[in-house]
């Protein structure tokens, strides 16, 4: 049986094309080979960079979820610093320092409150009646009773009017205990704080306020 001339010609062309492709592949120059290798290396590096970037993004999200909390201001106790409706971010891993603004859980209701740190662990104080005299960063050797009765109170001395129950509770001590804080609202005339609640334990503090993100016209870092 004879194969038609046209069909034979097509098959011959196909074979020649295939052979030509093979020859072309075999005839890559060293420069072309090096170029292909570089291309493969770049692609591999790009894949590694993308994986590392994804890992960093996931770790960042995990850190944010575990460390940062949102708090919405409710009430006038921190006015004029914050107003009702302000939205804040708190960092639970930030060390608490004097005059930081923190959120904490109310010891009785477990509601989240917002106050400023005024008294630190180790601060000395003295109570006369319901008045509290707080001596911040006072030297350990100073006798606070003699200091009070000498009528030469330091300029840094802060005086607060306590609730009767709180005054009675705190009168038995002369120093803020370890891991406890004296917290006050900036709006002193309208704030339920350590003047009524007493010292707040470190375990009750949710985090230090670091940023106000709403409203946008008051967006900024909180100091």
**Catalytic residue positions?**
77, 115
Q: How far is CA 37 from CA 21, 42, 45, in A?
A: 20, 9, 12
Helix H segments across the chain?
A: 5-26, 30-67, 144-149, 164-170, 194-197
* Cβ atoms < 10 Å from Cβ of 101: 21
**Listed residue (116, 117, 107) closest to 204, CA to CA:** 107
Q: Is 150 helix (H, G, I), strand (E, B) or coil?
A: coil
Q: How far is CA 78 from CA 92, 154, 174, 192, 198, in A?
A: 20, 27, 28, 11, 18
Q: Are the beta carbons of 194 and 183 closer than 8 angstroms?
A: yes
Contact residues for 163 (Cβ-Cβ < 8 A; gap 6+) = 130, 195, 196
Neighbouring C-beta atoms of residue 153, cutoff 10 Å: 14
Report whether 99 contacts 193 (CB < 8 A): no
Alpha-helical regions (H) of 69-191: 144-149, 164-170
């Amino acid at each position: 049986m004879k194969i038609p001339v046209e069909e034979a010609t097509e098959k011959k062309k196909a074979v020649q094309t295939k052979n030509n492709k093979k020859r072309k592949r075999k005839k890559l120059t060293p420069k072309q080979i090096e170029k292909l290798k570089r291309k493969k290396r770049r692609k591999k590096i790009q894949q590694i960079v993308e994986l590392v970037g994804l890992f960093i993004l996931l770790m960042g999200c995990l850190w944010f979820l575990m460390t940062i909390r949102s708090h919405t201001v409710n009430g006038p106790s921190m006015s004029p610093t914050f107003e009702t409706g302000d939205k804040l971010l708190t960092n639970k891993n930030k060390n608490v320092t004097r005059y930081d603004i923190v959120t904490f859980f109310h010891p009785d209701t477990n509601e989240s409150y917002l106050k400023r740190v005024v008294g630190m662990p180790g601060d000395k104080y003295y109570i006369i009646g319901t008045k509290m005299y707080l001596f911040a960063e006072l030297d350990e050797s100073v006798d606070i009773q003699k200091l009070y009765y000498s009528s030469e109170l330091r300029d840094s001395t802060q005086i607060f009017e306590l609730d009767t129950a709180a005054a009675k509770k705190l009168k038995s001590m002369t120093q803020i205990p370890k891991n406890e804080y004296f917290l006050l609202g900036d709006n002193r005339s309208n704030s339920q704080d350590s003047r009524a609640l007493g010292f707040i334990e470190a375990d009750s503090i949710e985090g230090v306020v670091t940023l106000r993100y709403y409203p946008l016209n008051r967006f900024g870092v909180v100091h």
